[in-house]
Structure 1
Amino acid sequence: MTSASDDLLTLTIPALRALFQSKTLSPSEYWQAVEARIAAFEPMIQALYAYDPEAARAQAAASTSRWVKNMPLGPLDGVPVSLKELIATKGTPVPLGTAATELLPAAQDAPVAARMREDGAVIFAKTTCPDYGMLSSGLSSFHPLSRNPWNLETNPGGSSAGASAAGAAGYGPLHIGTDIGGSVRLPAGWTGLFGLKPSHGRIPVDPYYVGRCAGPMTRRVEDAAFSMFTLSRTDWRDGTSLPPNEIDWMDLDIDVKGLRIGLMLDAGCGLPAEPEIKEAVTKAARMFEAAGATIIEVPPVLTRSMLDGLDRFWRAKFWGDIAPLPEERRQKILPYIYEWAKRGADLTGAEAVQGFGQTFEMRRACGQLFTTVDAVLSPTNPVVSYPADWASPTNDPERPFEHIAFTVPWNMSEQPAANINCGFSASGMPIGLQIVGPRFADMTVLRLSKLFEDWTGGIGSWPEPETVKKH
């Protein structure tokens, strides 16, 4: 049995705005519902960092006053939003998920945070991530262990771990993560959310880096699409930021007749997709085929050399980042991460550069594939679930990236890709479908995702605090 407060948490952002505008619901009243949900669920899932309900109440009250005057600041005025801990907010330390970081207040808002404030969003918390965002896990040496609301014994994924847990638990409609190899899509897949990794530069980030993107994580496709009006505004601090756009992000209709859609069930290396996952993704592909698309089984774009080269480059880079730290601080890093990074000390400069060169090989392979198809469907995650206290699906620092083989190529090729739920396992865990589009074709990914959500109806029953499986 749900309460009126719980019913509010099912509203989409456009529906909320309509209620704010008609004065039948205020941002303060909505925030009260979100705050009650957090109080009920947070002790179990530990998704938040720097949670400040008092500041959220003040922001919601200010938004309520603006809506009374019919003077909202922007599209997200009054909408609660959480930001991944790595996204700086002025005055709040950015621990980077690790106990090794000195906690100093951030000097300024990162681009995503700045856009949210400009448009009046209620920033109520940051969300947890693992050490340096280098794991697909809710395990961190700084934050409490974050858990998956669908089953507290399982991992929410990462590195946008807290964002995925918060979204699945119903902490408001919008959570922003970051993604350099799958860190929005992977946790979205394991928690049933829609997660968008846009074209590189579409959402400005600071610091920017090869493959690094920010993206919305939501229960419904239209909420992610609507947030892009705010998130996609340019920012000079991101040297890869795309030019200003006039995209109508809510123009989500599409006819798939005649589209060539690739079906990729083999990632080429890494963990193979489990049978339940392959079955669910294949079933999703047949729905597009029934609507008039041509489904083409396509080979993988990733090779063992590419993934191992990226691993070597990331080890070398990360060791370069942490080597200057005093030994006592380095010892505070999560042991799994530290053991992985130490191997970077033995790599030569040439080996590191050759590893980096594999990112261009990924880009070339992805580009070649998209000369033959208009979009690609694949699993997002290769496994259904794994224990909450594991650092990764292998839990082996010598095999750290076996789970990102379906997702990481699209970061390096700068193409938009999204996760959307396409079913559940026999154990009751969400299964993710990845939808990939050509570079800059963010709307194609959103439209295909919305069409699929329309066909399936989306997830109709989300975890509730009183019914979630306890650990």
Structure 2
Amino acid sequence: MTTIASLSAAELGDLYAARELSPVEVARDALARIERFEPEVNAFVVRDEPVTLAMAQAAEARWLKGEAFGPLDGVPVTIKDNLGVAGWPMRRGSALASDAPFQQDAPATARLREAGCVFLGKTTMPEYGWKGVGDSPLSGITRNPWDVSTGPGGSSSGAAVAAALNLGCIHLGTDGAGSVRIPAAFCGVFGLKPTYGRVPAWPASVMGFLAHLGPLTRTVRDSALAMNAIGQPDARDMTAFKHPPPDFTAGLDRGVRGLRIAWSPRLGGDALVDPEIAALTHAAALTFRELGATVEEVDPGIDDPIATLMTLWSAGAALALRSTDAAGRAQMDPGLVAVAEMGERIESAAYVDALLYQRNALAYQMAQFHERFDLLLTPTLPLPAFAVGRNTPEHGGYGEDWTRWTPLTYPFNITQQPAAAVPCGLTSAGLPASLQIVGAFGNDALVMQAAASFESARPFARVDAPIKSI
């Protein structure tokens, strides 16, 4: 039986056009499920039912008049709490941040509003998005719906949880070292980190050229629809693309026959890959061979760029906290404070070297690699979701540094390439595994095309309600 909770954004548009469903019905259904599930998962930091219903009523009126703005009119969406929404606070997961309404929509928010989307609320994140898990001093702990004793990953924590439970069809996230792909992987949804600049950003992230904006969705097509909207130019971001995006839905059905695809189980490094994740992602990679692509196991030949990442990451944290005194820092996530203090000790020459020369050298290596291969496949993460409230797993040799279990995501923030997390099965404990698809700079369409081909062959598993500890 088809339910509203099972419908995608693409399906909603067709049903609205046929007058078989209304945006108000969909919004009320989403709000009811948020009310039901929120005590178990804690995915939202802002909810505003009167605004949500007013937007849904306006969309319904447009569809009834035959004046819909487009295929996303009336589609429910959520916004991560580090993106501006006019009239709602933007606190970035920090209890110290002002709760005053933000005055302007961020570019991506504005494009969704112009498309007629219905805003359900703002989603949780760790403080300033500094880590890959989902707790903050502002909102507490966010939980993974596949097993509420585990975490959803971060920093787009609430966005991934909302996507997994279909609390809205499109969920805006940000990704500075994996922050779309990490929670997408743990929560079993599709998450896209587009090419840097494809989605304009404002205000600029303190993480600078590492920070990408992208959607988390239950289907690849819904992300493509989202990218058609949020990828439009915006003069407030001087680093963003100045030309409109292609229609990312146009090539989704072209398949992967004839593509040259590289499969790298560890990116040539020493990542501690869980045996079940290794098996599931390897099988997923071989699926592309069945779909007609050439698949070869080969590493791209890059060194782990952790030093480059941490130079830029810690400097960004230092910038975020530069006006926060000792009393304020005492109320913040201690890990964020430690990273900021590390950043305060970085010499300017070392920062510029990482920003310009080290980034460029890695990007050039990957550009050369993509002359041989159209796409690169890796596990998105080397492990399934682990116990909630921790920065690293209790066991597994990862230590206390969260970047040690994310070595396969952050290299592609440094190179600014498009990369997507694609669900590829469940472990014996019922937790999602995820395959990462990486494309050459600017080739977002091919990444989504390959992901859609895989989705057709291996439909993604779904979770309909939070599951208690297994």
| TM-score by shorter chain over 0.5 | yes
Match among 418, 431, 445 for residue 447 of structure 2: 445
**Structure 1 portions without partners, runs of 5+:** none
How far residue 173 of structure 1 moved from its aligned partner, in angstroms, is: 1.3
Kindly tell me: are residues 351 and 239 of structure 1, through their superposed partners in 2, closer, same or farther at Cα, counting changes over 3 Å?
same
Give yes or no for contact 2:164–2:218 (8 Å, CA) kept in 1: yes
**1:76 corresponds to which residue?**
72
Q: Following TM superposition, by how much is the alpha carbon of 1:381 offset from its aligned partner in structure 2, in angstroms? A: 0.8
Counterpart pick for 1:12 among 8, 32, 50: 8
State which drifts further: 400-409 or 385-394.
Answer: 385-394
Q: Relative to structure 2, which stretch is displaced further, 314-323 or 415-424?
A: 314-323
Quick one: distance in 2 between partners of 1:38 and 1:232? Answer: 28
Note if contact 2:126-2:155 (Cα within 8 Å) is conserved in structure 1: yes
The CA distance in 2 between the partners of 1:74 and 1:394, in whole Å, is: 48
Distance of 1:389 and 1:398 partners within structure 2? 13
User: Structure 1, residues 442-463: CA drift from partner, whole Å, max 9, x if none?
Assistant: 111111101100001222x414
Offset from partner CA, 1:32-68 (integer Å, 9 cap, x none): 1111111111110000011112211111111111111
Other-structure match for 1:232: 231
Distance 1:29 1:308, change over 3 A: same
Q: Which residue of 2 aligns with 1:327?
A: 326
Letter in 2 for 1:18: D
Structure 2 stretches lacking a partner, 5+ long: none
Alpha-carbon contact 2:318-2:339 (below 8 Å) kept? no
Moved more, 58-67 or 206-215: 206-215
Name the SS of the counterpart of 1:83 in structure 2. strand
CA distance in 1, matches of 2:282, 2:270: 20
CA contact (8 A) 1:178 1:184 kept: yes
- Shift in Å, 1:196: 0.9
- Supply the distance in 2 between the matched residues of 1:270 and 1:101 (Cα, whole angstroms): 39
- Shift in alpha-carbon separation, 1:241–1:323, aligned structure 2, 3 A: closer
Aligned partner of 2:210 in structure 1 is: 211
* Residue 413 (structure 1) aligned to one of 376, 400, 415: 415
Distance 1:262 1:64 in 2: 46
Alignment partner, residue 50 of structure 2? 54
Counterpart Cα distance in 2 of 1:175 and 1:324: 31
Which residue does 1:136 correspond to in 2?
132
Instruction: Give CA-to-partner distance per residue, 1:56-103, whole Å, 9 cap, x none.
Output: 111111111111101112331111100101111112221111123233
1:364 aligned to 2:364?
yes
What SS does the aligned partner of 1:419 have? strand
Query: How far does residue 301 in structure 1 lie from its aligned partner after superposition?
Result: 4.9
Residue 353 of structure 1 corresponds to which residue in structure 2? 352
Aligned length: 463
Deviations 1:425-458 (A, max 9, x none): 1111000001111111111111110110000122
The 2-side partners of 1:249 and 1:445 are apart by 10
Structure 1 CA distance for aligned equivalents of residues 418 and 10 of structure 2: 23
Indicate the residue corresponding to 2:404 in structure 1.
Answer: 402
Distance 1:298 1:142, change over 3 A: same
Cα displacement (A) at 1:313: 3.0
Q: Is residue 414–residue 439 contact of structure 1 (8 Å, CA) maintained in 2?
A: yes
- Counting only pairs closer than 5 Å after superposition, residues 271-282 of structure 1 correspond to structure 2 as 271-282=271-282
Which residue of structure 2 aligns with residue 373 of structure 1?
373
Per mean C-alpha deviation after superposition, the further-off stretch among 349-358 and 215-224 is 349-358
Identify which range, 391-400 or 349-358, moves more after superposition.
391-400
Relative to structure 1, the CA distance from residue 135 to residue 144 in structure 2 (aligned partners, 3 Å threshold; closer, same or farther) is same
Task: Give the direction of change, closer, same or farther, for the CA distance of 1:193–1:33 in structure 2 (3 Å limit).
Answer: same
Q: Deviations over 1:208-243 (max 9, x none)?
A: 420321111111111111222211111111112213
SS in structure 2 at match of 1:99: coil
Question: Hey, what does 1:25 align to over in structure 2?
Answer: 21
Whole-Å Cα distance in 2 between the matches of residues 225 and 422 of structure 1? Answer: 19
Secondary structure (helix, strand or coil) at the match of 1:109 reads coil
2:465 counterpart of 1:464: yes
> Are the counterparts in 1 of residues 228 and 245 from structure 2 also a CA contact under 8 Å?
no
Per the alignment, do residues 394 and 236 of structure 1 end up closer, same or farther by CA in structure 2, a change over 3 Å counting? farther
Query: Secondary structure of the equivalent of 1:371?
Result: helix
The alpha carbon displacement at 1:400 in A equals 3.6
Quick check: 2:381–2:406 contact (8 Å CA) kept in 1? Answer: yes
Return the alpha-carbon distance in structure 2 between the equivalents of residues 277 and 470 of structure 1.
20
Q: What amino acid does structure 1 have at the position aligned with 2:151?
A: N
Structure 2 residue 175 is matched with structure 1 residue 190: no
Instruction: State the shift of 1:300 in Å.
Output: 4.5
Give 1:124 shift.
1.5
Alignment match, 1:283: 283
User: By how many angstroms is 1:394 displaced?
Assistant: 7.6
Q: What is the match of residue 147 of structure 1?
A: 143
Distance 1:93 1:291 in 2: 46
Normalising by the residue count of structure 2, what TM-score does the alignment of the two structures yield?
0.93
Would you say the 8 A contact 2:228–2:248 is kept in 1?
yes
Q: Compute the displacement of 1:272 (Å).
A: 2.4
State the shift of 1:246 in Å: 5.7
CA contact (8 A) 1:394 1:402 kept: no
Q: Deviations over 1:393-412 (max 9, x none)?
A: 58989624223321122222
Counterparts of 2:345 and 2:210, CA distance in 1: 25
Q: Is the 8 A contact 2:5 2:166 kept in 1?
A: yes
The DSSP-based 3-state class of the residue aligned with 1:377 is strand
Q: Secondary structure at the match of 2:358?
A: helix
- Percent identical across equivalent pairs? 35
CA contact (8 A) 2:231 2:245 kept: no
Per-residue deviation, residues 130-176 of structure 1 (Å, max 9, x unmatched): 01011111110111210000001111001000000111122021111
